[in-house]
Amino acid sequence: MTVVETERLCIRQITNEDAKNLSKVLADPLVMQYSTVGVHTEEQIYDYIANCKKQYDLNGYGHWAIYNSATDEFVGVCGINKHKVDTDDVIHINYRLATDQQGKGYAVESTLGVLDFAKNALKLKAIHALIESANISSVKVVNRTGFQFIKSAVFRGFKVDIYQVAL
């Protein structure tokens, strides 16, 4: 089921059929370098898919698969999740692109698409981003998409910078 369509991308719910493509992101040490959960095994990828489905049913959102609309080529994943950071519940955006899809503007495009969905379909008022300061590429994405730095915090044992955008 398609959730968001942008100029070049189709962002849709993840299914078991995406497992092989998801390994291009979730099992790649370079892509997962700044992940708080690390590189995934094949079994963990299926657990990830099951969790995505659970989040769709529970919250109406989660992580989604990104495909190129023209070629149907797998690009990566993006989406929003709710977590507790310090004492606050925050809904934050997350994205990971396959290495051969990076540098094409897809992170910015998918982020803007997900923010539009969060505002118009989910009626959310703000979205956060949790980024390790060394993750310069992700910092550039949030800066290009209207996020502002709020504070630093510890999330899952990692020091992260918290950014926010009002919707």
List, for residues 17-40, the tens digit of each pLDDT value: 999 999 999 999 999 998 888 899
At residue 71's C-alpha, the angle toward residues 69 and 75, to 5°, is 70
Tell me what pLDDT residue 34 has.
Answer: 87
Alpha-carbon distance of 103 to 105, in angstroms, equals: 6
Tell me what pLDDT residue 90 has.
Answer: 94
In the predicted structure, residue 63 carries a pLDDT above the cut 90: yes
In the predicted structure, residue 41 carries a pLDDT above the cut 90: yes
Name the DSSP letter for residue 38. Answer: -
pTM over 0.75: yes
- φ, ψ of residue 14 to 5 degrees: the values are -85, 140
Tell me what pLDDT residue 37 has.
Answer: 85
Check if the beta carbon of residue 11 is closer than 8 Å to that of residue 3.
yes
Number of H helices, E strands in the chain: 4, 8
Question: What's the domain range around 121?
Answer: 2-166
Please give the tally of structural domains in the chain. 1
Tell me what pLDDT residue 10 has.
Answer: 98
Q: How many Cα atoms sit within 13 Å of 139 on the Cβ side? A: 10
Name the DSSP letter for residue 100. Answer: G
Report helix, strand or coil for 155.
Answer: strand
Check if the beta carbon of residue 49 is closer than 8 Å to that of residue 16.
yes
- Domain CATH number, residue 161: 3.40.630.30
